Structure formats: C-alpha cells, structure tokens
Amino acid sequence: MLDQYHRSIDYARISVTDRCNLRCIYCMPKEGVTSTPHQEILTYDEICQICEMFAELGISKIKITGGEPLVRKNLNRLVSDLKKIKGIEKVTLTTNGLLLGEQMDSLVQAGIDGINISLDALDDEIYKDITGCKAVTKVRGSLAAAMTFKNIKLKVNCVPIKGINDEEIVRLASLAKENTIWVRFIEMMPIGLGQQFEAYSEAELVTILEEKLGELIPHTGKQGNGPARYYRISGFVGEIGFISALSHRFCSDCNRIRLTSTGFLKTCLQYEQGVELKPLLRKGADKELLKEVICKTIYDKPLQHHFERRENCSLRSEKMFEIGG
C-alpha cells in the first residue's frame, strides 16, 4: 500500500485499551482519567476484521499497544487470531512489563514475535517518581522471564527526561552488554503532558553514552519495524537504538498507521487526519467499502509532522495513552 508520497505503508500500531496500571508523568495525570466505556472499545473480533482488510491492502506487521495492553483480558487470544490472518507476518507487543511475567508463557504459545518493555529507570525511587508505582523489581522480573525465550525479539524502551532520569541512561544502556536485547532511547514527543518536560536529543545521548561506554558504531542493517537507528558498542551482545522524531525527523521513511482502541484510523501522530472505522463496521458496511475508506485515508497520509511549530497544526485531543504511541 502506497500513500500519495510513494511511501510503503506496511505497519499498523493497534491500541486495545486506553487504560493503564501506571501513571507516568509524561503520559497520564496522577489522578487518572475517565476510561472509555467498554462498549465503545473495539472488540477483538472487530480488530481482527479490520486487520484482515489491512493485510489485503499490504499491512504485514502489527504492534499491539495501549494504554497498557496487558490489562485487557485474554490478550493472548487476540495475538493468536492475528497470527492466523493471511498476510500478517509479525505480531509484536509494547508493554510496561508489570503483568508480562505472568502472561509471558501464554503470549509465546499464541505466537508473539517480539516484545518491547517500557522502562525509564532501574532505580526503584526514580522509577516511582516517573510512574507513580514502586514496582521496578517486578518489571525487571518480567524482563528476566522474557529473556528466557531466545526466539522472541526483546527491546527495552526508555524516554530520557532531563533532570529526572539522567543517571539511568548509562545504566539502562548497559543492559545490552551481556544480554541479547535492544535498548532504545525515545525522544520525548510534545504531546499532552510530555510538553512540560525537556527532552534529550539523540546527539546529547550519544555523547553521554560514548563517554561512559565507548564508541557507538552505526548498524547498517534493519533491526525492526520502525524508524530506530541502531548502534553497536564493542563488547556488547545487544545493541543501542534511538527513535528521534524531532532531532532526526524520519517522516520521509514513515511506514506506519495507528488504530485507536475506539476505532479511529490515525495516519500521523500529530494531525487529526483519519477516519472513524467503528461506526462503519458496526453498521454493517460492505467490506469493499471499508477497504476503499481505509485505502483513501492511508493515501492522504500527511507528508510530515511539524511539532516544532505546533500553533499552526490541526491537532486531535488525544493523549499518548489514547493514541497508543
């Protein structure tokens, strides 16, 4: 599936819930939010119907996100059903890891291909300051459980925030020294609560890491579904990655779309362009009509974001926990 700028769109991020069991300071208010009523959330069967159409249009990779996807019951069933769809080559998951340890076996049995664990600190107090929960030991246990499955590609995602988890950057990167994992540093996006924090640029992070760990050697091959740039460090088993949407805008190579938990097909993280698929689906719209709507929406995907000049942008009201990252 090509958009109007001839980019091949083959990757869909699908949020299955806006609920989360953490309160990360850059994502969700401490007091929480009013969750979307369950009847407004797409059912697993509806998600699979949409993904069947995605696959027929050329989408081959699915990332399950939230909120926190593992708070939704029987997620392994969705993974299993998605894996059965002709044309879907990979199904992966992004999670905060709190519930992963107890669900890891069922996810592997369902056929999960890869798991990303969001982890912004290894220190328990710093982790609590960021997430509102003193639970880093449990997350590290989930990480250890995941590492026992050698065929599952495992990534750790960190959002570095100046003045908050500065001292954790090198510690987190060092997880890749003796473990076959990919530690990625994600640039803070100026969306929702994230606007109030100061982010590290990729260049700043490279300087910090090279000073403590040695030269970062660019990896020329592709390591995942998305735009991360990867580096090797001498003596490390795993690799270090950067997802830098602001300092290294990668819009020209963007290959993704997003489906929110309520069925809104979103083609760019910043803009309001997209289409509500749930009303069409629940009114029994013809499959070919739905595919035509999806195809047109993807074709109209914006050329690039303009987070650097937000006042000129047309934004939807979602927060990151609603969009699915």
The pLDDT score that the predictor gives to residue 264 is 96
CA distances from 180 to 144, 148, 296 (A): 12, 11, 40
Q: Which residues, 6+ apart, have CB-to-CB distance to 277 below 8 Å?
A: 50, 259, 263, 264, 265, 290, 293, 294
CB atoms within 10 A of CB 193: 15
Q: What is residue 248's predicted lDDT score, i.e. its pLDDT?
A: 59
Q: What's the confidence (pLDDT) of residue 214?
A: 97
In a domain? residue 6: no
Identify whether 300 is part of a domain: yes
Which structure tokens are listed for 32? 């929480």
Residues recorded for the chain: 325
Contact predicate 19/262, CB 8 Å: no
Nearest Cα to 198, choosing from 246, 243, 162? 162
2 within some domain:
no
Please check whether residue 229 lies inside any domain of the structure: yes
- What's the burial of 233, exposed, middle or buried (CB within 10 Å: 0-12/13-18/19+)? buried
pLDDT at 308: 53
Decide if 1 is inside a domain.
no
Boundaries of domain holding 32: 11-323
Q: Which tens digits make up the pLDDT trace of 179-188? A: 999 999 998 8
How many Cα neighbours within 13 Å face the side chain of 21? 15
CB 43 within 8 A of CB 75: no
Whole-number pLDDT of residue 269:
79
- Over the chain (325 residues), the average pLDDT of each successive run of 10 is 94 96 86 84 98 98 97 98 98 98 98 98 97 96 96 96 96 97 88 79 95 93 72 97 74 90 91 91 97 97 66 46 58
Helices (H), 61-178: 75-83, 100-110, 124-131, 136-147, 168-173, 175-178
DSSP string, 192-231: GGGGGSPBPPHHHHHHHHHHHH-PEEEP-S--SSS--EEE
Give domain status of residue 4, yes or no. no
* Residue 224 pLDDT: 63
Domain count, the chain: 1
pLDDT at position 287 is 96
- The CATH number of whichever domain residue 308 belongs to comes to 3.20.20.70
Identify the pLDDT of residue 313: 43
Identify the pLDDT of residue 317. 45
